Structure 1
Amino acid sequence: MAYRVDIAKAAQSDVREYESYIAFRESSPDPALKWVVGLQSMLDQIGAMPTSFRRTTRPLTSRYRQARYASHRIIFRIDAESQVVTVVRIYHMSRRSPRMRDLHDG
C-alpha cells in the first residue's frame, strides 16, 4: 500500500524558489514546469516504496531518508504507523546539507 506524501512548508518553499529560479534563468516557465512534473513523479516513487531509499549519513539525522532528483536531494521521514511520508526539505546538492534545525515539519 502506498504511503501518503506530505510536503512540509520549508520543502514547499524550496520548490517554489527553484521553480522561480529556473523560469527566470531560462526566460520561460516551460523548463520549470517540466522540473516540477519530474519532481512529482519522484515523490510518487517515494510514496510507493519509501524504505527503498537510503538513510541520511549523519547520526543525528539517521531517522531521515534521502532521494535524488536531478540536481536536488529530497530529505524525508517515514511514519510507518500512519503510513505517511513527510518531505522536510528539497535542496540543490551544490548547497551545504541542511542542519538538524533545518529539518522540521513546520
Structure 2
Amino acid sequence: MRVVPLIVLSLVVAATPAIAAERTGYSQIAAGNMGAAERSIVAERRIFPDRPELMLNLAAVYRNTGRAAEAKALYAAVLDKPAVALDMPSGAVVSSHDLAQRGLARFAPQMATR
C-alpha cells in the first residue's frame, strides 16, 4: 500500500512547477497572453501582495503593455524589500534585486555613439 502514496506524492511534486508557473503568470507571459497573465498575477497578489516574483512578473506585463510608470513602480517596490533568491525557468537562481534592476534598465535611454 505504500506504493500508492509515493506515486501520488511524485505526481504532486511533478505538478508543482506547472502550478507555480500558472500562479505567477509565467506561462501566460511566455505565451504572449498578457491579459491572462495580468488576471492570474493580480488574483495571486490579493493573497500574497509582497511576493517579489508576482511583482516582477506583473511589472513585465505592464512593460509589455505600454504601462511604463506602473512597471517602474513595481520594480522600485521590489528593490525596497529584502532581496530574495528566485528560481528561473532555466534553473538558475537570481536575486529579486538583480531582476528588478534589469527591468528598470530596460527603461534607461539608449545612447548611440559612433
TM-score (norm: length of structure 1): 0.30
Structure with larger RCO (C-alpha < 8 A, sep 6+): 1
Computing the radius of gyration over CA atoms, which structure comes out larger, 1 or 2? 2
More helix by share: 2
